[in-house]
Amino acid sequence: MSIALMILAFLVAIGVLVTVHEYGHFWIARRSGVKVLRFSIGFGRPLWRWQGKDHTEYVLGSLPLGGYVKMLDEREGKVAEEDLPRAFNRQSLGVRSAVVVAGPMANILFAIVVYWLAFVLGIAGIKPLVGEVTANTPAEKAGFRAGEEIIAVGEQATPTWAAVRHALFVASQNGSRVSVTVSGPEGEEVLSLDLSQVGTDPEKIRDILQQLGVQPVRPLLAPVIGKVLPDEPAAQAGFQPGDRILSAAGQPIDSWDEWVEFVRDRPGESFNVEIERGKERLVLTLQPVAVEGEEGSVGRIGAAPQPPGELPEELQATLKYSPLAAISQAVEKTWEIGSLTVIMLGKMLSGEVSTKSISGPITIAQYAGYSVQIGFVPFLNFLAVVSISLAILNLLPVPVLDGGHLLYYFIEWIRGRPLSEEAQALGQQIGILALIGLMCLAFYNDLTRLFG
């Protein structure tokens, strides 16, 4: 993936989500009679500005990592006598609260619309057909068998493996067991799956099937080299992208899985490999480097397979709904992701989930680039998830965030009068320090993921 594509996808995503968020504040403020002085997307030197109705200035800043809506307020400058009724600080507690909460709510509504569009267009995936079931694992004990199709986890239909992974992870946060409906030659069967061994870390969602002992059915990859890492054994032996492995140490190699298993079983050993390169047949000498894994020492050569072609039709699946049915599904999906985000934040504060799962702009940019590469619908899903996260983050009761303002208003409602300006200023300073600390942690996690 090119860095340019990653940066462009990130800027588009942030630009869209910030615009939606700030427009929520702007829309409610205008309709509540508050005078809006400026609507800005981005900070810093203005690249473009325009004055619209009611003398509101619209600005596009040179630093596209946020935005703001500046409203008329006596605390920020002198206000003309005729404009006093339109000053933000003169509004009722209800109006001020509505203006503040409108930003996060706009992000939630945007996520619902985006999910609706994704469900109408259809989310492509791989049909959840069970391949191998590892012995003495939760899946084997529950009664999973190779060849069965997982059609539901709990009450959630699962037409794709992505849906299965997500449903299992959500279920693992809510209990230790879940019912899984499978379909096989003998019809449908409901199995009880033990989830107590599944890690609570969100990053574990990627290998949740492996934790449970299920291997998906997948098309066999041809034993063809797609990528060779520099300074690794494969490169040193002379392997090149496009080389097809024919045999190793005299043993025929018919699939990439066979090749991986052969290499992993021979750490530090030297053996001859017969390959086909174009119209030629060559013999190369290879010695895998020994790497310590969970099951002991394994061999590694630093090569990746050639990407497969189009997925066989029998493994293709699409999660799709009619425009009407997609409405309820989009609302349900938004609620599910939002609830899961809140649960994860709670577990993070209690120490049950590692803070390593916090992502910063680098990781977000990578995901933005990956989703764009895959297609329009995956990018829509990415936008929806980040939009929900942005809404929840802004609702945290931290001064300088929308949730911090709502906390001040709640205290004002209890006391019958607002906090002093000194107390609010102190809260703002604490909030800024907390956000700086959070951003430093996020950047550290990003760099750790990037450079190991």
Q: What is the DSSP string of 311-324?
A: PPGGGEEEE---HH
Which among 136, 137, 145, 213 is positioned nearest to 183, based on CA atoms? 145
Task: Give yes or no for a contact between 193 and 142, defined as CB atoms under 8 angstroms apart.
Answer: yes
> What tokens were used for 347?
């577990």
What is the DSSP-derived secondary structure letter of residue 223? S
End-to-end CA gap in the chain:
19
- Using only C-alpha atoms, the chain has a radius of gyration, in whole angstroms, of 27
CA distance 258 to 153: 32
Task: Give yes or no for a contact between 232 and 288, defined as CB atoms under 8 angstroms apart.
Answer: no
Using CA of residue 363, residue 369, residue 375, residue 379, what is the dihedral sign? positive
Which among 60, 49, 219, 192 is positioned nearest to 126, based on CA atoms? 219
179: burial class by Cβ within 10 Å (0-12, 13-18, 19+)? middle
37, 395, 408, 420, 429 from 423: Cα distances, Å: 26, 20, 10, 5, 10
22 is catalytic: yes
CA distance 112 to 377: 14
CB neighbour burial string for 238-263, b if at least 16 within 10 angstroms, e if fewer: ebeeebbbbbbeeeebeebebbbebb
CA distance 339 to 336: 5
Using CA of residue 148, residue 151, residue 153, residue 154, what is the dihedral sign? negative
CA distance 117 to 330: 9
Tokens 């427009």, located at residue: 23
Which among 250, 267, 444 is positioned nearest to 363, based on CA atoms? 444
> What tokens were used for 428?
């703002």
CA distance 234 to 219: 24
Residue type, 227: K
> What tokens were used for 27?
């829309």
> What tokens were used for 217?
């059915």
Q: Could you list the active site residues?
A: 22
